[in-house]
């Protein structure tokens, strides 16, 4: 484009020289000089106009770049502020989880200590007052060791709502483990627990596992309830029920998520003590 304009300026200069030579009769040298001067003046004007336009474009671009830089700085400030908020939130959540874990471990240690002490007392009473067969004694020993070592698990079976198939509840099943990992069947440990008056201890362990699971589900924002089977005798046990009640009081925020189950026939024929203790749980 510039080349063609330069040719146009040369043509204008040639025309000016031609007019000077033929019309104005200025002579050949002067006419040539006039043509060259015209071409030079037009070229210079073009250069000045082009430079002015380029300068305006450069200024506009610089202003656009400065605006983008300011916008980028504002975005960086917003990102830094959000990062600080996220970092503070994460620190707070980690602190809360750490404190909750420490509290949970302390509760577990306290529970195990009290249960172990009561268990030894119950075991001594059982050994003194009852004579059991060798096979029964082996099962009772397995149950005792599992409780003493905390080898009590809670297996969950989901209960879904139809037709969405969304998990609404979990049914909790208590399982005891031997040191080799094999399970002690419920028919075995329930019978041994009843004979040795250890159902309160088993139910306390079950309750603790249930609370642990509910809290972990709540951390994942899964608001579901867990059905927890307990023996009716545990609600009448003067040794273990106070610990049971104390633990539930400390975790009363989970009262809507932990649902206790007892046999219907035992509920219908519940004793005065059992009724009073159930009232304490609902208070």
Model confidence pLDDT, tens digit, residues 88-104:
877 777 677 666 655 66
Residues listed for the chain: 283
Residue 51 included in any domain = yes
Residue 123 included in any domain = no
Cβ-based neighbour number of residue 172 at 10 Å: 23
Summarize the confidence of residues 212-232 as an average pLDDT. 81
CB 283 within 8 A of CB 275: no
Please determine, for residue 176, whether its predicted confidence score (pLDDT) is greater than 90. Answer: yes
Residue 124 included in any domain = no
Query: Which value, to the nearest 10 degrees, does the dihedral of the CA atoms of residues 128, 131, 136, 142 take?
Result: 10
Strand partners, 175: 153
Confidence of residue 129 (pLDDT cuts 50, 70, 90): very low
CATH, residue 136: 3.20.20.450
pLDDT digit string, tens, across residues 4-46: 555 565 666 566 555 555 655 556 566 566 656 676 766 667 6
Predicted TM-score (pTM) of this structure: 0.52
Number of structural domains, the chain? Answer: 2
| 29 and 84 inside one domain | yes
Q: What is the DSSP letter of 170?
A: E
Q: How confident is the model at residue 2, as a pLDDT?
A: 59
Confidence of residue 67 (pLDDT cuts 50, 70, 90): confident
Its domain, for residue 223, covers: 130-282
Q: How confident is the model at residue 79, as a pLDDT?
A: 85
Residue 266 included in any domain = yes
| 269 and 144 inside one domain | yes
């Amino acid at each position: 484009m510039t080349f063609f304009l330069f040719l146009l300026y040369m043509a204008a200069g040639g025309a000016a020289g031609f007019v000077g030579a033929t019309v104005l009769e200025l002579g050949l040298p002067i006419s040539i000089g006039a043509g060259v001067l015209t071409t030079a003046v037009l070229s210079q004007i073009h250069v000045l106009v082009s430079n002015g336009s380029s300068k305006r474009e450069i200024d506009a671009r610089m202003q656009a770049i400065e605006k983008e830089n300011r916008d980028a700085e504002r975005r960086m400030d917003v990102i830094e502020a959000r990062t600080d908020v996220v970092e503070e939130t994460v620190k707070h959540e980690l602190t809360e989880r750490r404190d909750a874990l420490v509290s949970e471990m302390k509760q577990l240690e306290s529970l195990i200590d009290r249960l172990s002490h009561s268990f030894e007392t119950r075991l001594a009473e059982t050994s003194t007052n009852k004579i059991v067969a060798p096979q029964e004694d082996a099962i009772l020993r397995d149950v005792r060791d599992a409780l003493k070592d905390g080898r009590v698990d809670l297996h969950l079976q989901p209960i879904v709502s139809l037709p969405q198939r969304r998990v609404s509840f979990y049914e909790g099943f208590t399982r005891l483990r031997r040191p080799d990992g094999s399970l002690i069947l419920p028919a075995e440990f329930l019978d041994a627990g009843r004979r040795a008056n250890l159902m309160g201890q088993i139910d306390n362990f079950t309750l603790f596992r249930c609370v642990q699971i509910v809290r972990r589900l709540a951390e994942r924002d899964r608001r579901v309830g867990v059905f927890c089977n307990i023996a009716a005798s545990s609600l009448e046990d003067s040794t273990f029920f106070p610990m049971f009640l104390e633990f539930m009081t400390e975790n009363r925020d989970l009262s809507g998520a932990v649902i206790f189950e007892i046999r219907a026939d035992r509920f219908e024929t519940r004793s005065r003590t059992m009724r009073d203790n159930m009232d304490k749980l609902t208070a």
